[in-house]
Structure 1
Amino acid sequence: MTVDTDVLIVGAGPTGLALGIDLARRGVAALVVERGAGLAPGSRGKGLQPRTMEVFDDLGVLDAIQAAGGDYPVGMIWQDGRRVGEHRMFDPSEATDDSPYDAPWMVPQWRTQEILFARLTELGGRVAFGREVVSLAQDEDGATVEFASGAPVRARYVVAADGGRSAVRRALGIAMTGETVDPDPILVADVRITGLDRDNWHVFPPREDTGGFLAICPLAGTRDFQVVAQFPEGTPIDLSLDGVRRTVAARSHLSAEALTEVRWASDFRPRAALADRFRAGRVFLAGDAAHVHSPAGGQGLNTTVQDAYNLGWKLGAVVRGEAPESLLDTYEEERLPVAAEVLGLSTRVHRGEERRGGATRQLGLGYRDRSLTVETRTELPDEALRAGDRAPDATVAGVRLFDVFRGPHWTLLTVGTDAQPPVLAGVRTARIAPHGRYRTGIFLVRPDGYVGWAGSSPRDLPGYAARTGLPVG
């Protein structure tokens, strides 16, 4: 059968839009479909971790993201209408030559989606709204997806990025294993409020008569605040204007009338769940369709974007005939363990067992000991950069590595050695003096910014290049 598109992406949230951007810049025909009439509203995942900021730099949206957001405000704890102390949401850190983004950056999710959508459109990508998936069938050559309205779509590959209640995942029969992190339901709403400053994240601890905390956070780049309120297990939550007003008035010194507008509201119970598989034939699960997180620690949206970043270059190489089909097997192999690790972290943060520290920035996540990772050096010191690690930034003799890495290509980096590696078609090259964790060696950096191969001699590099579809020139 003739395909309508090489890749069909179901879901126009951050995952689907980021994947669409990555494929579009590689010249891969991809269609994003979304069951809603437009992009989803709501602040939802508002925190972008430093690793995601690096990804957005590469995807060409960093300037817009920085212009749209701001730093996290200091928490201000209130009691009986008085300010009684400050609370830092994240452990402090500093930007370094290795890591230029030092702390989470706040952007409401609806705005992040708008920025990603604009970038996708700029690159010629497409989003079809009002397309609700009702069935999926696949064979050796592709998959056919049918919708509640509109013509079916035939694609070589399908990516489910349609959220925690993924219709595609259900159609595949893939189960999710998980637990309720906290039985107490939570209200989250974007509102307009008068009488509160925008310099602080206002925290009202639980009292015996209210049964749960209230937090009111100014949303950077907007006039809105995000209200988050916890309720005792089994309590029905009223999402109306009057209902949210009653919650705020009962738990703070503010009057009900101080809350002038509810722009979006939702409720949920914090849950952690992981799909049993991230791939079934020609269909891949990404984002919340593959893993659902507690919002504590700001890990969910960030992990979903990095799913897309891992899958995009692999789909692109296979679709263009540059790499064997087996390359796609490495998506689940690499991302499922990472998702499991991050799920555990977000659950521990939610339960107060771990602070929001270095691990939540996601700079230390990597793919050591995976089939696509080859480290040929031995007896390396503990702090040395290894294959599978994120390739850190550095500026050496006027050459900034992130500038070299930026774009949909591999990079061959030679550090402090006169060795002459082979010429690899379509691979950018750079040579620098010994520096930081790079020390000395030859590093083949993947399109997603991780070291795929590392060695002191280029002897084994051609074999690795052939596995990943890089022709030796």
Structure 2
Amino acid sequence: MRAQVDVLIVGAGPTGLALGIDLARRGVDALVVERAGGLFPGSRGKGIQPRTMEVFDDLGVLDAILAAGESSPVGMIWQDGRRMGEHRMFDPAETAEDSPYTGPWMVPQWRTQEILFTRLEELGGAVAFGRDVVGLRRDGDGVTAHFATGPDVRARYAVAADGGRSAVRRAVGIGMTGETVDPNPMLVADVRISGLDRDNWHIFPPGGPDGESEGFLAICPLAGTEDFQAVAQFPAGTSVDLSLDGIRKVVAARSHLAPDDVTEVRWASDFRPRAALADRFRAGRVFLAGDAAHVHSPAGGQGLNTSVQDAYNLGWKLGAVLRDGADPALLDTYEEERRRVAADMLGLSTSVHRGEVRRGEATAQLGLGYRDSTLTAETRTAPGPLHAGDRAPDGTLDGVRLFDAFRGPHWTLVAVGTEAPEDHLPGCVHVVHGEAQQAYGTGLFLVRPDGYVGWAGDSASGQLGNYLMRLGPRR
């Protein structure tokens, strides 16, 4: 437990761990603290969207994520103990060269966190468990965190990644504005069940075998385990019983399964679906990320994915300021870019929950970008298919796979059908070039460390250098 660090990350969920990985690979001295005694034990956020798969590729955990999961199983509708037909939970998508991952990829959240934790330790990072933040003292030079037990920690910056009830958010006085998405409480539990195959996502509509049960039941196999995730909805005002007997009663009332077919409850929780957005994502040297900044309905699988991408956006900017000498004003763009995205994803999650939008292209998050950001500079007179601010697609240039070229904490200059000014570029700007290709058209594209085009031009002509001096890497 170090007394002083560059960045203190509060919360060892997917957000905090992903940020810890990104900072560790940049040589930033960061510490993750977690109030619990260990990693989160439940399956809750199990759907990893295609854009997050691309992030995980860059962070060095994709192979482990692929090995731990599987594609979403086909839904199976049941009625009176009979299979009534398949139900596609997600609109199908085909793999393309510019978008190699078609999601979502199903991995229990606890397993995703184990993989991220292992990667963090590989990079020399650490998590201090059992450290409950009870107060913050802020000044112009940094933040001092006070804990329920143990010594204080002093940091130049702090990041609240401690969930929807964030103690850090409350400590810095940032409010949240939200709404109840659904007044009906929900049960989510990791269970062992006999009598169901693992090839389908089993769906039991309201009615049940006796025609009297209320609310739906869905039971999904969890990849790489013997467990299923059970989700059930209850009428407003119901007190949800999380015990083994309580869950057995729900399963038996809403399906053809017997109570004893539920052999074990490994984790269980209840919640009321809501959507909420923090009024700000920053208070001085304290940043909010993940559920501390935005709380989603689980429908559509946007919460974990938006949260990891918060970390991915913030990590390179903290690294640029703390290690590369970038202007600290760069950190202002975190809220500018991510709060709008979070608001959009909250609206999407709510629409999916209410059945207004199908899971598919929108929930994949591949279309998100930062065209309106102050970090974005589009200097071409006639932009092609790819615009500054867009996600940089995958592809192949002169035998080099672009995602391979992007992987790492550097910037990448992609020269497509035009000359690349390789001289006078900072050492951490890598260059890849080739002939025109469909996803890019022609031009120069400076790809940020988080995989978005920051600057685009027909030629360098001084403008690229000016962009790098203003916002980019110094080394």
Length, aligned pairs only: 469
The answer for the alignment partner of 2:294 in structure 1 is: 291
The percentage of counterpart residues that share the same residue type is 75
Q: Distance in 1 between matches of 2:423 and 2:444?
A: 11
Native 8 Å contact 2:410 2:430 kept in 1: yes
Indicate whether 1:67 and 2:67 are aligned: yes
8 A Cα contact 2:378 2:456, kept in partner: yes
Divergent runs of 4+, >4 A = none
What is the identity, as a one-letter code, of the residue corresponding to 1:404?
Answer: A
SS in 1 for 2:7: strand
- Alignment partner, residue 442 of structure 2: 440
Structure 1 residues 293 and 401: alpha-carbon distance in aligned structure 2, compared to 1, 3 A threshold: same
Question: Normalized against structure 1, the TM-score is what?
Answer: 0.98
Q: Which residue pairs with 2:277 in the alignment? A: 274
Match of 1:14 in 2: 14
1:11-55: CA deviation from partner (whole Å, max 9, x where unpaired): 000000000000000000000000000001100000000000000
How far 1:3 sits from its partner (Å)?
A: 6.6
Residues 422-433 of structure 1 mapped to structure 2, 5 A cutoff? 422-425=423-426, 426-433=428-435
> Is it true that 1:234 corresponds to 2:237 in the alignment?
yes
Instruction: Output the CA distance in 2 between the equivalents of 1:275 and 1:157.
Output: 19
Q: SS of 1:424's equivalent?
A: coil
Shift of residue 399 of structure 1? 1.1
Aligned counterparts of 1:422 and 1:326: Cα–Cα separation in 2: 28
CA offset at residue 422 of structure 1?
Answer: 4.8
For 1:308 and 1:144, how far apart are their aligned partners in 2?
Answer: 21
Question: Aligned pair 1:138/2:141, yes or no?
Answer: no
Letter in 2 for 1:61: V
For residues 3 and 390 of structure 2, the distance between their equivalents in structure 1, rounded to whole angstroms, comes to 37
1-structure distance, mates of 2:55, 2:455? 20
1:112-151 matches, within 5 Å, as 112-151=112-151
The yes-or-no answer on 1:320 pairing with 2:323 is yes
Give the whole-Å Cα distance in 1 for the aligned partners of 2:18 and 2:305.
Answer: 11
Deviation of 1:471 (Å): 3.6
State how far apart, in whole Å, the 2-side matches of 1:411 and 1:466 are. Answer: 15
CA contact (8 A) 2:397 2:432 kept: no
Q: More displaced, 71-80 or 459-468?
A: 459-468
Q: Which amino acid aligns with 1:286?
A: A
Shift of 1:470: 2.5
Q: Are the counterparts in 2 of residues 38 and 129 from structure 1 also a CA contact under 8 Å?
A: yes
Contact 1:97 1:393 in 2 (8 A): yes
1:294 aligned counterpart, secondary structure: coil
Which one of the candidate residues 331, 356, 360 is aligned to 2:359?
356
Q: How does 1:23-34 map to 2 (within 5 A)?
A: 23-34=23-34
Once the 2 structures are TM-superposed, how far is the Cα of residue 271 of structure 1 from its aligned partner? 0.4
Gapped regions of structure 2 (runs ≥ 5) = none
Q: Is 1:174 the equivalent of 2:174?
A: yes
Deviations 1:184-233 (A, max 9, x none): 00000000000000000000001262210000000011110000000000
C-alpha separation between the residues in 2 aligned to 1:470 and 1:218?
45
Superimposed CA distance per residue, residues 45-98 of structure 1 (whole angstroms, 9 cap, x where no aligned partner): 000000000000000000000000001100000000000011011000111000
Paired residue for 1:400?
401
Amino acid at match of 2:332: D
Query: What SS does structure 2 have at the residue aligned with 1:250?
Result: helix
Question: Is contact 1:210–1:250 with CA below 8 Å preserved after alignment?
Answer: yes
Structure 1: unaligned runs, 5 residues or longer: none
Deviation of 1:174 (Å): 0.5
Contact 2:408/2:449, CA 8 A, preserved across alignment: yes
CA distance in 2, matches of 1:428, 1:441: 16
| Structure-2 separation of matches of 1:419 and 1:6 | 36
Q: One-letter code of the match for 2:255?
A: S
Instruction: Trace 1:180-191 onto structure 2 (pairs within 5 A).
Output: 180-191=180-191
Kept after mapping to 2: 8 A contact 1:3/1:156: no
Q: Secondary structure at the match of 1:438?
A: coil
Instruction: Report if the CA contact (8 A) 1:422-1:458 is conserved.
Output: no
Quote how far apart the aligned CAs of 1:423 are: 2.7
Instruction: Give the corresponding residue for 2:80.
Output: 80
Shift of 1:277: 0.2
- Any idea what SS the aligned residue of 2:449 has? coil
Match of 1:420, as an amino acid?
P
Matched with 2:257 is: 254
Q: Does the alignment pair 1:41 with 2:44?
A: no
Residues 78-119 of structure 1 show CA distances to partners (whole Å, capped at 9, x for unaligned) of 000000011011000111000000121000000000000000
1:445-464 paired onto structure 2 within 5 Å? 445-459=447-461, 460-464=463-467
CA contact (8 A) 1:421 1:458 kept: no
CA contact (8 A) 1:413 1:429 kept: yes
Deviation readout 1:167-193 (Å, 9 max, x if unpaired): 000011111001000000000000000
Name the aligned partner's letter for residue 452 of structure 1: G
Report SS of the residue matched to 2:83: strand
Q: TM-score with structure 2 length normalisation? A: 0.97
Offset, 1:313? 0.3
| Partner-residue secondary structure (3-state), 1:228 | strand
Higher alpha-carbon deviation: 307-316 or 460-469: 460-469
Q: Which amino acid aligns with 1:456?
A: D
For 2:397 and 2:326, the matched residues in 1 are separated by 33
